[in-house]
Amino acid sequence: MLKAFQVAPLSSELDDDIQHKIDFKTKPPGSLGGLESIAYQVARIQRTLTPTIERAQMLVFAADHGAVDKGISAFPQEVTAQMVTNFLAGGAAVSVFCRQHQVPLKVVDVGVKVDMPDHPLLSKRKVASASQDFSEQAALTLDEVNQALSAGADEVDACQDVDILLFGEMGIGNTGVSSCMMSAITGTKPEQTAGRGTGLDDAGVSKKAQIIAASLKRAEQALHKPVGEWAPWEVATQVGGLEILAMSGAMLRSAELGKPFVVDGFICTVALLFASQIQAAVTDYAIFAHQSDEQAHKTLLQQFQAEPILKLDLRLGEGSGAILSYPIIKSAVVFFNDMASFESAGVSNAT
């Protein structure tokens, strides 16, 4: 059995009042576009007409993947640990953006192949030293899957007095793992889920799709059922990634606590896809940061009927899109709370 989560669907009790407050600001109805949608969602999640987004936390989950040895990434596996070191030193994109917006960053090691030295910004929750090569065998045991889900949930619990969680990831090969998980859950062909990741050429993308297809076929034979019909625990054990599952656990726990969270790019959206297989209501608490340049991300966003905040052709990961969207989310809440109404400003409304 998978670790249990209980996520309550959002209440509609305040919906009319929230919409009324938005509509009667000193502006034409709908003129703040997506900011209005964000404000509406945050107010619904926090169940208040005075929502707060002042204290954020960025959690970047890191792990390695056995299938990298088959060539699903343009970069070697040792880059995972090297980039974690870069995060901790403050030199990565997510590091500088978090510093810019004064959002604390924590890196969570749930499966980096190298044992990282102690660091104030590093949380050591290693489940295993990388997943197994899913083209040859199941990627994880059920116990490892539950440990990863728990690691993500525990990290959320460790965030004190936080209004919103931002999630990111680091793991060479995890775009390929995410593509495989998406194919396993939705039945979408690997040719449609495999993308360029960290910079594969056409031949590299084709090879990645072939490896994913072979891995899914192996798992189908092991499970005696086709893709699209697997239970969540079967997806996770056969083709899951530790940092992806840890993000799923963090999302589910955030939703359990009634806190909004920001979904980064393709890999993070696959984590939400998996989380939604466990508790469908988790998506109510998700704010989608951006549409990445990974080919399957647009398909996933359409499946969630999501309108991402940004479209900058990002494909870096790390939570970079999540932190870039954060000041826009704050602005949405500021307008909702502080912008004058027609009545308070003495401005005539439209007739």
DSSP code per residue over 260-314: -EEE-SHHHHHHHHHHHHH-GGGGGGEEE-B--SSHHHHHHHHHTT---SB-S--
pLDDT of residue 348: 66
pLDDT of residue 158: 97
Pairing of the two strands 122-124 and 56-63? unpaired
Please pick, among 144, 155, 234, 318, the residue that the annotation labels catalytic.
318
Phi, psi of 179, deg, nearest 5:
-60, -40
Each of the 351 residues of the chain gets a pLDDT tens digit; together they read 899 999 999 999 999 999 999 999 999 999 999 999 999 999 999 999 999 999 999 999 999 999 998 888 888 899 999 999 999 999 999 999 999 999 999 999 999 999 999 999 999 999 999 999 999 999 999 999 999 999 999 999 999 899 999 999 999 999 999 999 999 999 999 999 998 877 788 887 888 999 999 999 999 999 999 999 999 999 999 999 999 999 999 999 999 999 999 999 999 999 999 999 999 999 999 999 999 988 899 999 999 999 999 999 998 999 999 999 999 999 999 999 999 997 877 676 765
Domains of the chain, by residue range, sit at 56-335
Phi, psi of 233, deg, nearest 5:
-65, -30
Tell me the three state secondary structure of residue 141: coil
Identify residue 324 by its one-letter amino acid code.
Answer: L
Helices 174-186, 202-223: axis angle to 10 degrees equals 50
Cβ neighbours of residue 278 closer than 8 Å, sequence gap 6 or more: 2, 5, 232, 248, 252
Nearest to 248 by CA among 221, 275, 278, 285: 275
Cβ neighbours of residue 329 closer than 8 Å, sequence gap 6 or more: 38, 42, 53, 164, 262, 287, 309
pLDDT of residue 148: 98
Pick one of 3.40.50.10210, 3.30.70.1450, 2.130.10.10, 3.40.30.10 as the CATH number of 56-335: 3.40.50.10210
| Alpha-helix residue ranges (DSSP H) falling in the chain | 15-23, 34-46, 79-89, 93-100, 142-157, 174-186, 190-193, 202-223, 232-239, 242-256, 266-278, 295-303, 320-338, 342-345
pLDDT of residue 160: 84
Which sign does the torsion angle of CA 149, 150, 151, 156 carry? Answer: positive
Which tens digits make up the pLDDT trace of 319-348?
Answer: 999 999 999 999 999 999 999 997 877 676
CA separation for the pair 165, 345 (Å, rounded): 34
CA separation for the pair 251, 234 (Å, rounded): 20
The half-sphere exposure of 95 on its side-chain side, counting CA atoms within 13 A, is: 14
Pairing of the two strands 122-124 and 164-170? unpaired
Tell me whether residue 296 is exposed, middle or buried, using C-beta atoms within 10 angstroms of its C-beta: 0 to 12, 13 to 18, 19 or more: buried
- Measured in whole angstroms, how far is the alpha carbon of residue 243 from the centre of its chain? 10
CA separation for the pair 264, 324 (Å, rounded): 10
311 is written with which tokens? 């479209």
Query: How many CB atoms within 10 Å of residue 253?
Result: 26
pLDDT of residue 350: 62
243 is catalytic: no
34 is written with which tokens? 């997506």
pLDDT of residue 61: 98
CA separation for the pair 174, 315 (Å, rounded): 12
